[in-house]
Amino acid sequence: MPSLLASITPVRLLLVAFAPFMLIACSEEAPQQKAPPPAVSVIEVGTQEVGEYGEFVARTDAYKTVDLRARVEGSITKRLFTEGLSVEKDQLLFEIDRENYEAAFQEADANLKSTQAEKLRTERDYQRGLELRPNGYISQSDLDTLASNSVKARASVKGAQAALKNAQVNLSYTRIYAPFAGEIGTVRYNVGNLVGPSSEPLATLLKDDPIYANIQINESSYITYLQEFSDEHGEVRVHSQPPQDAVTITLILPNGTTHEHKGTINYAGIEVNSSTGTVNLRAQFPNPTGIVRPGLYGTLIIESQDKVTQPVIPQYAVQEGQQGKFVLIVDANNTVKSRNVKVGRRLGPLWVVTAGLQAGDKIIVEGLQKVRAGAAVTAVLKYLDSKTGSLKAQPPELNSLEQAPLNTDSTNDA
């Protein structure tokens, strides 16, 4: 036993003595390292020049439209166009069976010639009677008869001329021409069909360059319009156009794209609809490519040329809460804060902010679901392409004619 104790070295004795304490220390959890703040993408709020504006639901209408109808009865013998394509002014489109109308015209022409010959005969007889009457060769009664026959012959000529004119008109109605250059729609009757004045239109012809966009404005805006564009004497010019440099008229198409041509107001209604309290207003747009079709529903934006600088932010950065719309911003200490905002008009993918933000504020645009107000974050600065709404790691290039906002493309297109 002594030899066993002697074989235990002092080091081993220390390990044996402190073993329980080492086991207790190892059983305790090691202190955890603090997680880094989540990374979010932010942009600095930029600005754009924005004017006062109105946004209205618009319905497009053709500049000219006409229903092509048969004005005489008969079978269609020719159709000389392709549906959906353009036709020229005075181009022959339809031909109705002409045989009966040509016969009626020839008959009326022959009748006219006959009455003209009778007119000449009666006039000669009457002239002879005038010469013979002074010598008593004919009675006054016979002379009166000759005069009456001459008058009747002249009347018959006028009647025959009218009949010939009517036959000529009916014959001309057998050929239907395009009254103006435009595009022709679907044909409702084919060759061989019997048509007449009571039939539905054979086809519809329209001209869509320029194109109209019709809107309705409330009576308050209408009065403001009249006051704005009255002349220097205060006289209201209801039918006149506003000055070209006063407003910008823009048409937004159903797919959200902007029509490339600006418009002008060319008509304002002269009375208010008593049931709706609105007035019709019509704008006219160039449409050389025919991209805007009649009957479309779009958005008409009327914007004043006098503009003010306002903050703009992407629409996807705006959230909705119980107190209205809000955005999340990152302050100088990289802490998230909620900011209530009021928004105005849309500019493509952007929203104009009328209250709550100012240029230079940093708002979160990516990672919104990872943070809440009061949290610390790592802000990664991105740059906004105002035309597409996409984010970029580098600032978008700006041409020399544009003023660069803090981090957005500069554009005034709606």
**Domain 40-50+309-392 falls in which CATH fold?**
2.40.420
- What class, spelled out in words, does domain 55-62+210-305 have in CATH? mainly beta
- Cα(256)–Cα(298) distance, integer angstroms: 8
Q: Which of 128, 121, 131, 107 is nearest to 152 (CA)?
A: 121
Q: Helix count (H) and strand count (E) of the chain? A: 5, 22
pLDDT of the residue at 36: 83
| Fold designation for 99-172 | Helix Hairpins (1.10.287)
Which residues does residue 355 pair with via DSSP β-bridges, in sequence order?
Answer: 342
Of 226, 292, 235, give the one whose Cα is nearest residue 263: 292
Residue 396 is predicted with a pLDDT of: 65
DSSP symbols for 135-164: GTSS-HHHHHHHHHHHHHHHHHHHHHHHHH
pLDDT at 92: 95
Same fold across 40-50+309-392 and 55-62+210-305: no
Residue for token digits 């036709």?
87
Q: Residue 195, exposed/middle/buried by CB under 10 A (0-12, 13-18, 19+)?
A: buried
Query: For position 234, what pLDDT does the model report?
Result: 52
The third-level CATH classification (topology) of the domain covering 70-97+175-200 is OB fold (Dihydrolipoamide Acetyltransferase, E2P) (2.40.50)
β-strand pairing of 39-44 with 378-381: parallel
- pLDDT at position 4: 46
Comparing CA positions, the residue from 140, 287, 276 lying closest to residue 213 is 287
Instruction: State pLDDT tens for residues 231-253.
Output: 555 555 554 455 556 778 899 99
What is the value of pTM for the model shown? 0.62
Per DSSP, helices labelled H in 195-249 are 219-228
Amino acid identity at 151: V
Show me where the domains of the chain are located. 40-50+309-392, 55-62+210-305, 70-97+175-200, 99-172
Residues of the chain below pLDDT 50: 1-5, 11, 13-16, 23-24, 239-240, 398-414
Look at residue 20 in the predicted model and tell me its pLDDT.
54
Interatomic CA distance for residues 267 and 248, integer angstroms: 16
